């Protein structure tokens, strides 16, 4: 076997080994994403439960201490106390329920992102708003919490 054949053989062995390693790494990632998705959906349930109870404090505990929210037509809201105030104002406006539907989750280490849709309902059960959202989640002390939260309405603009 000449030097060129040895180099080609070594490259083929390395490529096959790398491919085998990456295939093995993908299987745990898929199950890991499923576990993260389940944790995120549990966090979303906590968020929705807070709205159903009229408890903005409970909603705020779903966020990291240094979380930021980017509500439509408003400035950035930073930190749990400000987030609690934001959600209290939403609840005070007559919103009594959220339906959150996760459509995509991807995780890498202690960070994950979620894409989904939302429906906000009044106490009477009518739809007050619906739209889409993207959340960056952060694992803090083993718990997945909202870290960056942005949403936008899909409702048509009102004619004024």
pLDDT higher than threshold 90 for residue 159 = no
Instruction: For the domain made up of 3-153, give the CATH fold.
Output: Nuclear Transport Factor 2; Chain: A, (3.10.450)
Q: What is the DSSP string of 67-90?
A: EEEE-TTS--EESHHHHHHHHHHH
Q: What is the pTM of this model?
A: 0.79
Q: Domains of the chain: which residue ranges?
A: 3-153
pLDDT tens by residue, 139-155: 999 999 999 999 999 99
């Amino acid at each position: 076997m000449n030097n060129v054949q040895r180099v080609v053989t070594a490259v083929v062995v390395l490529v096959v080994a790398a491919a085998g390693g990456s295939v093995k790494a993908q299987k745990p990632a898929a199950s890991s994403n499923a576990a993260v998705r389940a944790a995120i959906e549990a966090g979303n349930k906590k968020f929705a439960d807070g709205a159903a109870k009229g408890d903005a404090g409970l909603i705020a505990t779903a966020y990291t201490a240094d979380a930021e929210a980017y509500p439509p037509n408003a400035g950035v809201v930073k930190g749990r106390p400000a987030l609690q105030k934001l959600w209290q104002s939403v609840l005070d406006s007559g919103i009594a329920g959220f339906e959150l539907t996760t459509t995509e989750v991807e995780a890498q280490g202690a960070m994950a992102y979620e894409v989904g849709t939302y429906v906000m309902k009044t106490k009477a059960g009518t739809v007050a708003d619906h739209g889409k959202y993207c959340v960056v989640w952060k694992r803090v002390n083993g718990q997945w919490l909202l870290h960056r939260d942005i949403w936008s309405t899909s409702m048509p603009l009102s004619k004024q």
